[in-house]
Chain A
């Protein structure tokens, strides 16, 4: 896998956040995250969640894991985060194996997972406090981060007083607090309405380009993946596995309504249709027919074809 020239991808924004980048080490060259023949089986019956996944993410790269539910995309994220251990194979961060969760790999969850008993600012400062930062340093850093996600004005609000989109932005600020090398995002916008989602996709692209983080972004939304990714990793189900990788070379910043995004997204949708069909079949009774499924993939992709 080739190394990215990070500098080319920086997009100037003129936002206050740019002052902040100076303090942040820009994306380092080399491989940030590597999975080496990773499988995960769980439970008594050894259900296979993920089979033989190998993946390399370059430092500063934005990779989207795209697939239907049950394709193991969140599993890969949990493995990188250290929340799960592989049954076989290796997960590496740089050169060293991942042995558990750590502040160098921050996670943004689908439900934001902000702590309800802390204000927005308390939430952003929480990981800093864990790392032993003193109060003035925490205040300084949380202000930078909350300004970057445009939530400074709401610093004293509790999570329940914020909208879903604001909570996710808060979660992103919290994840960036300890200056992690890798930002892991697990379907962060799946529960948001379409408009908010588009705005936040733009935010992710902007924050990524300003901070130079390595980002692994999990989604089941094809257009979201095309909009954001340097590279899309397509995943299939039963068992979860990596099917295919697709480089997206559209210029940045991208627009979700750009025709090129739409064309690429349509092509990819057809590619994963057979996988979606598999899930639909398993989750429904025999009478279920997936509309348009006949268009999907080659004959080799058809489940039970020729049996």
Chain B
């Protein structure tokens, strides 16, 4: 039985269709990505999955249960919402204490989990400081651990790295990879293709409320990414390379080809001096471009 099953989910706000017939399954222990631009319907999907929003139609099953609002089901879910959902006038420790009590953790278990969460997020030294004094990255880390304090088997992370510095982002990635190693099921929404590519076992590309493609990263690249691109920057634009095809931009040639090494060999054999050579593999950005005709961050 999958950890999460979503069937033909639909949700509209007035005339605006936010989620338009989405279906997917997330296996236990899998890290599943929802990749799409802002407004694609990722957060609405997450909110419907956890029962914070009532879908117009469709079905959601969490651990086989059809009603995600049941307390017994909610206890199995951990959510890090996109906004920093913390009490700024409480300290990190007080926030965790509060959420621990809400999840009915006993005093001893709560104490242990709070210690672990503070260590996990790298905030142990600032535990007594009010959240309002934290940097954006520290708040994001606390936001993440507040959602998983009760050690749920299913974790939904809604854009958990928005607006954080590179150091905090790396720390969050490390945290998520640790959770993967512990066998937790993770749903991860993002509009950063690098994150989906690094963390997710499978990725659903979503735009305008619809899933356009769903596969492993490799599968998506194979199916929609196109061939690698050979990029060569010459000292001067040579005249005899027109038959290689590709596109010129000043002195730089870009050739999309299934045989990049062969193309490189031909260029080298012609003896023209070049300054820089690279072979770029297609990425999820290219997949999104191929599927929608626009860039992820447009």
The reply to whether chain A is a binding partner of chain B is no
Mark A residues whose CB is within 8 Å of B.
none
Mark B residues whose CB is within 8 Å of A.
none
